[in-house]
Structure 1
Amino acid sequence: MDAFHQLLVEEGELRGLIGPRELPRLWERHLLNSAAVVPFLPARGLIVDVGSGAGLPGVVIAAMLPQAEIVLVEPMERRVTWLHDVVDRTGLTNVEVRRARAQELEGALEADAVTARAVASLDKLFRWTAPLVREGGTVIAMKGARAEEELAAASKAMRASGLTNGQVHEATTIAGTEPTRVVSAVRGRGPRVR
């Protein structure tokens, strides 16, 4: 985590991954915020992070769950290059980087969990990620203050995507940090409606 933090400090702004105002609050707003999803994930198995961008939360998850296999999915070539550099320079051995959009990987992956942070509205996110999750697996999305409203608005898309049990959780990592809103939905049994 220290190595990842240092890479973000040294190169994040230069590579257009984070803004200059984010540098002083990298730990709290980005790294610890990303760590808040870990309790909702399996310790082993396949975890796919869609729209990985700067590596948040995917790289953080990989560092915290070394027994899990992490696939970072990112469509933009410059971000894919960054993610490869991060994996090489941090020595993470449980990470694979794929240049793709989530929708392009349907049938290619069967994850135990899919994560996303600041990727899309829940209705789109559910449609894009549900096909990547095995039966009984989970979609985990990091959302803002309006997570409850967004989940309610996406309930039809959630059901149509074969997901059930949508919930919003307030998750904290360490005392004194702002809680993170984590939305979870489980890939249910039965046919999906398209």
Structure 2
Amino acid sequence: MNRNEILRAGLNALGLDLPETATQRLLAYVDLLVKWNRTYNLTAIRDGDEMVTQHLLDSLSILPFLQDVQSLADIGSGAGLPGIPLAIAQPQLAVTLIDSVQKKSAFQQQAKIDLALTNVSIYSGRIEDYRKYDEFDAVTARAFSDLPLLAKAAGPLLRPGGRIYAMKGVLPQDEMAALPAPWHVAATPRLLVPGLSAERHLLILERN
């Protein structure tokens, strides 16, 4: 299958019925990532077809859990994952991408411009220096440290009742046990990513 067919088959398997404009933007995002990756090494995955599975479909697998979320911060966002695919799939979702590596923020900015992502904001800097508190319904993280550090970093950003959605592989039992009060793990649904055999989980964290 070509890249377009891999994406469409994956979206169908996930039960996601996206408009054609969103599908084309997702493919354009992969094209841009492949292009930038040749020079800036934004991701270890070099092949565009693999990016569709391991980046796009993996990111979009959490979408059903975000139905009530209107604002989201993606911390340690890297190349914009999962934030950019989520922003493309849900134009009404306000997404802020936060990363301390300038070249990654530069790529995010280019993707925002090229893909006309008016619902995306970008902060280039350390999460500890982000000063907009109590702003978000949710924080996502796909490759950000361990759970205790994530909870400490994300907590100030969240509104009362806000949740952390941490994307992990095998359930990190030690990290879960080390979560500081008042955080606890509310749910650990397994993510079934089309075309990906590796074990994936979403850890949903709440405050007591």
Global fold match (TM > 0.5): yes
Q: 1:135 deviation in Å?
A: 1.2
Q: CA RMSD in A?
A: 2.0
**Is 1:180 matched with 2:175?**
no
Letter in 2 for 1:19: A
Q: Deviations over 1:11-53 (max 9, x none)?
A: 2232110225554411111111111221222455210000111
Unaligned residue ranges in structure 2 (runs of 5+) = 1-25
Corresponding residue for 2:141?
116
Alignment partner of 1:169: what SS?
Answer: coil
Alignment partner of 2:40: what SS?
Answer: coil
Q: 1:170 deviation in Å?
A: 0.3
In the TM superposition, 1:1-194 aligns within 5 A as: 1-19=26-44, 21=46, 23-152=48-177, 154-155=178-179, 157=180, 159=181, 162-174=182-194, 176-178=195-197, 180-188=200-208
Q: Distance in 1 between matches of 2:137 and 2:45?
A: 35
What TM-score, normalized to structure 1? 0.84
Q: Distance in 2 between matches of 1:171 and 1:15?
A: 29
How much identity, in percent, do the aligned residues show?
30
Q: Is the 8 A contact 1:72 1:96 kept in 2?
A: yes
Letter in 2 for 1:14: T
What TM-score, normalized to structure 2? 0.79
Q: 1:149 deviation in Å?
A: 4.1
Letter in 2 for 1:167: A
Alignment length (residue pairs): 182
Change (3 A) 1:133 1:187: farther
Change (3 A) 1:43 1:4: farther
Unaligned residue ranges in structure 1 (runs of 5+) = 189-194
Letter in 1 for 2:147: L
Alignment partner of 1:49: what SS?
Answer: strand
> Going by fraction, where is strand more abundant, 1 or 2?
1
Change (3 A) 1:167 1:13: farther
